[in-house]
Each structure stands twice: as C-alpha cells, then as structure tokens.
Amino acid sequence: MSTWRPFRQVDVFTTEPYRGNPVAVVHDADGLSTEQMARFANWTNLSETTFLLAPESSDADYRVRIFTPGSELPFAGHPTLGSCHAWLEAGGTPRQADVIVQECGAGLIRIRRTADGLAFAAPPLIRSGAVDEATVARVAKSLGIDRDEVQDAQWADNGPGWVAVLLADAQAVLDLRPGIADMDIGVAGPYPPGSPAAFEVRAFFPKDGATVEDPVTGSLNASLAGWLLSSGRARAPYVASQGTALGRAGRVRVSQDDDGTIWVGGGTITCVRGAVDL
C-alpha cells in the first residue's frame, strides 16, 4: 500500500497568493494515527495542518482533524475554509447543492459558497461573557499597553480559547508591540466610517515561551463578530482586515442571516499541490 497522500497548501482569506494565512491539507488521511498527524503538523510548523477523512456522521460530507504544531484543535476557521477548498478542488461533491457539511471535533460545521468565496457558519461559543479585572490587566500588560487603553473585553472562545479585546481604533491595534502572552488574545479596533474595512484585527498566542501573531484568524473573527454585532458596535455585512502588521492583506467577510446565523468567509487559493509520504 502506498504511503504517499495527495497534499495541498491553501492560502485563506485572500484572492492574491501568499497574502493570507496558509493551511496544509493532507487528503485521504484515513489510516493515519494521531501520532503521525501530530508529527507531520509539527514538521510543517504552520499555524494549522489538517487531515481529510471519511465522515463518521451520515450528515457530513467529509471529516477533518485540525492540528497546530503542538496540539489538536476541535475547530479553527481558516483551516475549515482551506480544507473545504481542497476537498472541493480534489473533486468532492457535497450531498446538498447549496451547503457543504464538515465534521470536526466541534461537531458539524456548515460551509457555503458566496460571491466572495467560501464562508462557514460560526459555531456556538464554549465560553463568553465579561472578563474579570485581573485578567484584563494581565492582557493589557501582555499587549504592552495601559489598562485604560482597553475599551472592553469579552471571552470569545469557540474552540481555541480566545479572550477578545477592543481598543479605541484601528491604529491603536496596528501600533501594538506585545510582550510575552500567556493566553490566546484577539484584538480589534474600528476604522473610520466609510473605510474599506470596518475593523483591524490582530491575534496573538503563546508558543515556546514567545508570543506569536497569527496572520488571519477565522475562529477569532467568528467569535468577535458575535460580540461586535450583538453589542451594536458593528453592522453586518462588514469586512475585517487582518495581517497588515505582518505584511499580509487578509480580508475576512462577515455576514448575518435573518435568523441570526453569522457567516465568516473570504477567498481561498491553492499555492502548493503535490503529495506527501506519511
């Protein structure tokens, strides 16, 4: 039996190659052990690597396992869109014409095609609500800012564990020079009305004793959207810009159905195609 499996590296939240957030996608991953998946994800050293498998649920089109270099995640946004893109490009045919259903650790995630690319339905939050003052102060210290620069903070955890922070404006977000973070921190600040993007977003998380910035983050933007829309700070549809401080040009498009479902989407493009020996 061949150990070579089809492989794609997909840039997500962009229509211009190498300007979004890449995800490594291994096809036909049934039969791989968790150890093999984890080792390969550690080797790619991307923020996430995913593995496409046959679904276990009769309602799903495919199943995906999502790994960072150090752990497995129940859900993440840009890997969801990148994996769906790869599955469709490889000839995947969804059971329903208007929606693709992904099975993952967080359950069944609906994905649909839009004029601006694929979009996933934001999953429910695992943790929400106000952040205690001690944690807000700790977050501010990690970001290298004074406590009074934090306009508001909320738990916005839909899997990765985000605490979300709102600053006065987009420039304040771009000016951040964080120190050492000990939790996953998402930061947003509004652009002036009429700007191409409504918010600038940045995402920081700890890794190996340092703070790493994620280029474009679907899970964070999904949970941020719920908070910003419900609090009246945003009105759907809107566009969030992310990755600017890293030289990227990520664009996350947020919309909301009449029933309240939030959709998070953007462009996806394959940048690497081949096979990997696992």
User: Catalytic residue positions?
Assistant: 48
**Tokens 């939050």 identify what position?**
125
Residue 110 Cα to chain centre, angstroms: 15
Nearest to 266 by CA among 234, 235, 222: 222
Cis peptide before 94 (omega within 30 of 0): no
Cα dist. 255→48, 261, 262 in Å?
25, 8, 6
d(C-alpha 53, C-alpha 202), whole Å: 31
**60 Cβ neighbours under 8 A, 6+ residues apart:** 101, 102, 103, 108
Distance of CA 196 to CAs 40, 240, 277, Å?
38, 9, 43
Residue 223 near residue 122, CB atoms below 8 Å: yes
The helix (run of H) or strand (run of E) holding residue 40 is helix 34-44
Cα–Cα dist 59/56, whole Å: 9
